[in-house]
């Protein structure tokens, strides 16, 4: 018989389910409302309600966002996408080039920030090679989910469950710790099977929607000069090898080499250090051009501005008829000295300007693309010199010189976490994934791989709020006996067969993941899994591993996993696309997991 507090907890679960399924209220608002209801109803004490926000797993997820921000700000993600993706010959080839590296990377960094970092690069890559983006973005999301099954830090779910296991051990429960590669025994076979399924089935089950190719014409055709940097990733490569042949809404007009103009730029022209490349295109493409390792603005003025380049961004400004520099060249008017900003490109009525940037005579109505510190926008927004001033999002130049440092920090974090989690002589020191990620995030900031402002912006606070609130709700399920009641109900339905119970736990977790979210289902099902193992008198490890895998595998709905939501709009998907392509993958992963878990982790 359920107690009144258990009924209140059950009511809060139904409230969560209904709000997330039938309304558009954000998950963090819904979860905090349910947590507040349980607190005001006396089900949870203040310390219990807030305990989820001090959970080690939740904190680790937040810190990992900073680590990935360091990789993104140093251009590591862009460099990896350029090196790994290459030039595919078909849609299937493109999917293999994308999914393999994405799955491997997601094993060693949280998949949510990984998809956030790769998404723009993949969309641009698809446009360059005329591949429907709908054939790539869902496989990207699913591949990072599958790859994340293989290590402790691959998904936020894994990190959360590892934290729950530690809390359960402290509370006296008989359960084994999840080490860095514990899940790999099940995750690797699931990932291989899932990737094979996607390559084979995507031809028939994924839609072809190429709306990404139909872009509105941008009247602002900028002319921008870039220089090939010695020792970068462009010098010594051909135009095609450097990825400059199929730029999105931008073309390479000419190359200047030692004072000689090469007007007809062919794809096999080999670039030399010091070459000046003249591009014409839209502003979004210029932002991406700035991120290519080995290219730098041709003007040396950018190195004369105050402060490091990493703290600057790109800003568009329209010259007014009251600008004091009208009728003067950019160089002759001392634009940099006057405004503490450097002109990177100029657009004038959609026509190409043939002069060098410094020789362009400013006219009213010219649109300037500037590199400057964020303070420029505030200083000039209401100034008479410009009609309009606006900053471009995510336009800070990458710190390419810090790329190797960022990679070394990431590898060091993985090695430290692996050694201290798996070697008995070191595990007793209490240094684990949380400590390793804290150290890595601190080093990213200390070595200037990531600025403090970027670190703050990188953290997805709504995700952390959902995790913290859900952990409090999970504690209510445990303390009121609701989890134990669910376990009794499962046993009465299926008997005392551990394998049948395992299947029910897995399928129940998978269903909750599709309806709610991955972290929510893991937290809610964890106490049920432990209670079921206790009732049956068997080892709890098969249940912990199975529900962890099931909670991460949200393939059938866009709300089942955050990376699905991230690709939902850019891919032009509909709800039914996820059902059609994701349900068979869910069943495949379930079959692999339920076959291998009893063998690898006996009852």
Q: In this model, does residue 215 exceed pLDDT 50?
A: no
The DSSP call for residue 389 is E
Classify 319 as helix, strand or coil. Answer: strand
Summarize pLDDT for 250-262 with one digit per residue, the tens. 778 888 888 788 8
Q: What is the mean pLDDT of residues 140-162?
A: 88
* 425 pLDDT tier (thresholds 50, 70, 90): low
Average pLDDT of the segment spanning 166-177: 82
Mean pLDDT, range 223-231, rounded to an integer: 82
- C-alpha distances in angstroms, 534 versus 203, 527, 538, 539, 595? 45, 10, 7, 8, 22
pTM value?
0.69
Instruction: Return the minimum-mean-pLDDT range out of 28-32, 437-441, 466-470, 505-509.
Output: 466-470
573-599 mean pLDDT: 91
- Of the two residues 82 and 268, the one the predictor is more confident about is 268
Task: Report, as an integer, the average pLDDT of 146-159.
Answer: 86
Alpha helices (runs of H) in 495-574, residue ranges in sequence order: 498-515, 518-536, 541-552, 562-568
Q: Are the C-beta atoms of 155 and 433 separated by less than 8 Å?
A: no
Of 415 and 43, which is predicted with more confidence? 43
Spans of all domains in the chain: 4-208+414-600, 222-391
Cα 267 to chain center, whole Å? 33
Could you write out the three-class secondary structure of 256-311? EECCEEECCCCCCCECCCCCEEEEEECHHHHHHHHCCCCEEECCHHHHCCCCCHHH
Yes or no: domain 222-391 corresponds to CATH 3.40.50.11710: no
């Amino acid at each position: 018989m359920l107690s009144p507090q258990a009924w209140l907890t059950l009511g809060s679960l139904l409230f969560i389910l209904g709000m997330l399924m039938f309304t558009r209220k954000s998950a963090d608002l819904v979860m905090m409302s349910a947590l507040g209801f349980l607190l005001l109803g006396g089900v949870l004490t203040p310390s219990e309600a807030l305990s989820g926000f001090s959970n080690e797993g939740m904190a680790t997820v937040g810190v990992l966002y900073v680590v990935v921000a360091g990789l993104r700000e140093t251009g590591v993600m862009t460099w990896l996408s350029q090196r790994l993706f290459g030039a595919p010959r078909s849609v299937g080839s493109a999917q293999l080039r994308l999914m393999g590296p994405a799955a491997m990377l997601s094993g060693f960094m949280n998949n949510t920030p990984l998809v956030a970092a790769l998404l723009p690069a993949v969309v641009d890559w698809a446009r360059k090679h005329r591949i429907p983006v709908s054939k790539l973005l869902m496989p990207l999301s699913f591949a990072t989910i599958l790859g994340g099954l293989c290590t402790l830090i691959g998904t936020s779910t894994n990190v959360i469950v590892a934290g729950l296991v530690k809390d359960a051990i402290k509370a006296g429960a008989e359960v084994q710790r999840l080490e860095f590669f514990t899940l790999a025994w099940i995750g690797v076979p699931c990932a291989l099977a899932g990737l094979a399924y996607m390559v084979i089935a995507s031809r028939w089950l994924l839609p072809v929607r190429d709306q990404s190719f139909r872009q509105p014409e941008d009247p602002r055709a900028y002319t921008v000069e870039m220089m090939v940097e010695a020792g970068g990733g462009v010098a010594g490569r051909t135009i095609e090898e450097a990825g400059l042949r199929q730029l999105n809404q931008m073309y390479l007009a000419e190359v200047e080499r030692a004072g000689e103009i090469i007007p007809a730029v062919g794809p096999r022209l080999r670039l030399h250090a010091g070459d000046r490349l003249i591009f014409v295109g839209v502003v979004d493409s210029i932002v991406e051009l700035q991120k290519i390792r080995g290219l730098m603005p041709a003007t040396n003025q950018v190195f004369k501005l105050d402060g490091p380049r990493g703290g600057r961004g790109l800003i568009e400004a329209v010259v007014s008829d009251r600008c004091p520099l009208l009728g003067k060249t950019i160089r002759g008017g001392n634009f940099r000295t006057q405004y503490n900003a450097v002109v990177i490109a100029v657009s004038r009525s959609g026509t190409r300007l043939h002069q060098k940037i410094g020789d362009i005579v400013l006219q009213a109505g010219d649109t300037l693309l500037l590199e400057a510190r964020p303070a420029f926008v505030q200083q000039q927004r209401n100034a008479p010199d410009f009609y309009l001033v606006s900053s471009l999002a995510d336009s800070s130049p990458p710190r390419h010189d810090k790329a190797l440092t960022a990679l070394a920090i990431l590898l060091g974090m993985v090695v430290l976490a692996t050694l201290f989690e798996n070697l008995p002589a070191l595990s007793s020191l209490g240094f684990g994934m949380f400590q390793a990620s804290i150290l890595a995030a601190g080093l990213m900031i200390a070595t200037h791989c990531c600025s403090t402002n970027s670190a703050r912006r990188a953290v997805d606070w709504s995700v952390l709020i959902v995790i913290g609130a859900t952990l409090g709700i999970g504690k209510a399920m445990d303390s009121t006996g609701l989890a134990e009641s669910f376990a009794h109900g499962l046993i009465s339905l299926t008997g005392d067969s551990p394998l049948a119970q395992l299947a029910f736990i897995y399928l129940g977790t998978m269903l909750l993941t599709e309806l709610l979210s991955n972290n929510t289902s893991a937290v809610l099902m964890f106490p049920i899994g432990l209670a079921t193992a206790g009732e049956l008198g068997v080892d709890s490890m098969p249940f912990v591993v199975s529900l962890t895998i099931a909670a991460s595998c949200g393939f059938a709905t866009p709300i089942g996993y955050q990376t699905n939501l991230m690709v939902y709009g850019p891919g032009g998907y509909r709800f039914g696309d996820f059902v059609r392509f994701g349900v068979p993958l869910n069943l495949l992963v379930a079959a692999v997991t339920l076959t291998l878990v009893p063998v690898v982790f006996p009852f």
